[in-house]
């Protein structure tokens, strides 16, 4: 009877707090809350959360758990979180489509070269960290850890990376994202073919 309802309510409250804390830590980079262990765990085991649409699914689920607490506050907060989740999912899918379209455009060397040239201020075929960061943001892949990516690309540690290295990195990022998105869609059953 009522004891079962109290246990259910306590369990839902516990999960609601756990999801809330996880989301705060996940999005904490905005507030300088960067937990490396969690970021590594997500990169290795929860790849779906690296994408806006994957986080949207998490938000929607967490919001639905919060709604189930049935207090006025919980319904409002859970509804907000669920709405945010659905909007994030929809925007993530639109951005995925846009990235695929960009990838097709950038398959031609000239298109990517024009974009790279825009950020290569002295037109020497190299960009520094600031140019690379602006290039990444300008191409819509701002959720990338641009500092780590720059360090990985800059093999000789001179603070500059060449056009061919950036082009290879971009192609690898797009290929990885497309595969991750496809795997995620296959997992949740939204896409049936390859």
What is the chain's pLDDT, residue by residue, as a tens digit (194 residues)? 677 678 888 999 999 999 988 888 777 765 665 667 777 777 788 888 888 899 999 999 999 999 999 899 999 999 999 999 999 999 999 988 888 877 776 665 566 777 888 888 888 999 998 888 888 877 777 666 778 888 888 888 888 999 888 888 888 877 777 776 666 656 655 544 44
pLDDT at 193: 47
pLDDT at 105: 64
Q: Using a CB cutoff of 8 Å and minimum separation of 24, what contacts does 60-67 make?
A: 60/85, 60/86, 60/89, 61/19, 61/85, 62/16, 62/19, 62/20, 62/23, 65/12, 65/15, 65/16, 65/19, 66/16, 66/19, 66/20
- Closest listed residue to residue 119, CA positions, set 138, 135, 103: 135
pLDDT at 192: 46
- What pTM value is reported for the model? 0.53
pLDDT at 183: 64
20 and 70 in contact (C-beta within 8 Å)?
no
pLDDT at 34: 61
Q: Could you give the CA distance from residue 37 to residue 9 in angstroms, rounded to a whole number? A: 31
User: What contacts 18, CB < 8 A, 6 or more positions away?
Assistant: none
Q: Could you give the CA distance from residue 165 to residue 153 in angstroms, rounded to a whole number? A: 7
pLDDT at 18: 93
Q: Could you give the CA distance from residue 42 to residue 59 in angstroms, rounded to a whole number? A: 16
pLDDT at 164: 87
pLDDT at 99: 82
């Amino acid at each position: 009877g009522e004891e079962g309802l109290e246990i259910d309510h306590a369990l839902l409250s516990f999960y609601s707090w756990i999801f809330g804390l996880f989301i705060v830590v996940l999005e904490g980079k905005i507030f300088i809350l960067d937990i490396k262990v969690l970021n590594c765990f997500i990169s290795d085991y929860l790849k779906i959360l690296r994408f806006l649409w994957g986080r949207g699914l998490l938000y929607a689920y967490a919001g639905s758990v919060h709604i189930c607490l049935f207090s006025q506050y919980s319904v409002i907060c859970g509804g907000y979180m669920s709405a945010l989740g659905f909007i994030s999912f929809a925007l993530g899918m639109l951005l995925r489509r846009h990235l695929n379209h960009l990838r097709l455009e950038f398959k031609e060397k000239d298109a990517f070269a024009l974009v790279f040239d825009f950020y290569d201020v002295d037109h020497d075929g190299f960009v520094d960290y600031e140019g690379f960061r602006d290039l990444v943001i300008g191409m819509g892949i701002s959720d990338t850890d641009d500092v780590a990516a720059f360090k990985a690309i800059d093999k000789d540690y001179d603070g500059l990376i060449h056009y061919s290295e950036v082009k290879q990195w971009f192609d690898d990022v797009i290929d990885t994202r497309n595969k991750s998105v496809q795997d995620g869609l296959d997992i949740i059953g939204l896409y049936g073919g390859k």
